[in-house]
Amino acid sequence: MAARILDGKALAETIRGEIAEQVAQFKAQTGITPGLAVVLVGENPASQVYVRGKQSASKAVGMSGAVHRLPADVSESALLDLVEALNADPAVHGILVQLPLPKQIDEGRVIERIDPRKDVDGFHPENAGLLAIGRPRFVPCTPLGIQRMLIDAGIETKGAHAVILGRSNIVGKPMALLLLQKGRGGDATVTVCHTGTRDAAAVARQADILIAAIGRAEQVRASWVKPGAVVVDVGIHKRDDGSICGDVHFPEVAEVASWISPVPGGVGRMTVAMLLHNTLQAARLAAAGMS
């Protein structure tokens, strides 16, 4: 059995087209251009690639996209000052601080300083809390993108056993909360595996929907997957030969799963599309004077 492909690249292109139309309508109705500000600290090559992609994507849909670059040795106070300035700028509707940050900076303190109404990454404690109680404002982009992929493919989450490998605040925890929400794309029974889990492979084999976000190249093998399961790969790694892979051993698992997301061409493109979605939502809330 060869798995069907969860094509995040194609879906993301469709969504970006929809967002471009919505941005044009919003600008015509309000005279406001949704604005995304990205803060990049240091010269991390991967971060620079991600930031260029986000800036390019925002401009392609008609938003304003500005990148604020700071040196790797910047002080935490200087970074916080920049965040405060962006909070106060009415032309900025979404603020994204590219992670990871240098060791001298407390990431949590920086995230907490972002105005939660501009926190388009969905990482601020206020937005995390709203998601937890079922009243989401901004959902972290990767989990939101995964949910949209499942919905678009017609994959039923209601009553399904979803197993998430990883408990990060960026993917694992918000993904669990999103799948637990009542309604479309939710109502799943959710298990989260982490470094303290005994025999994660055995737990993974029970999943109808398996989401791998563990940060280890090709760790999820066919033996981890129940035949017919849906497998979503969040990981991205560069092999010694320069090729890209995910947390899932794609050739093996594609022979067992019913659906699988590739790397690249899967979750990553959807993450950027959902960032654009959140930024437009932030602009709409600001225009309506809502919190």
Catalytic residues: 54, 98, 121
Tokens representing residue 23 in the block: 């941005």
Q: Dihedral sign for Cα 4, 252, 172, 207, please.
A: positive
**Between the CA of residue 167 and those of 121, 192, 199, 203, what are the distances in Å?**
17, 7, 16, 15
Pull the structure tokens for residue 59. 């401009």
Nearest Cα to Cα of residue 16 among 291, 274, 285, 289: 274
Torsion sign across C-alpha atoms 240, 245, 251, 256: positive
Residues 221 and 201: their CA atoms lie apart, in Å, by 9
Give the whole-angstrom CA distance, residue 148 versus residue 188: 15
Q: d(Cα 234, Cα 172) in Å, to the nearest integer?
A: 10
- Distance (Å, rounded) from C-alpha 208 to C-alpha 235? 19
DSSP track, 108-143 = HHHHHHS-TTSBTT--SHHHHHHHHTT--SS--HHH
Cα dihedral angle (239, 202, 255, 274), rounded to 10 degrees?
Answer: -60
Q: If 0-12 CB within 10 Å is exposed, 13-18 middle and 19+ buried, where does residue 140 land?
A: buried
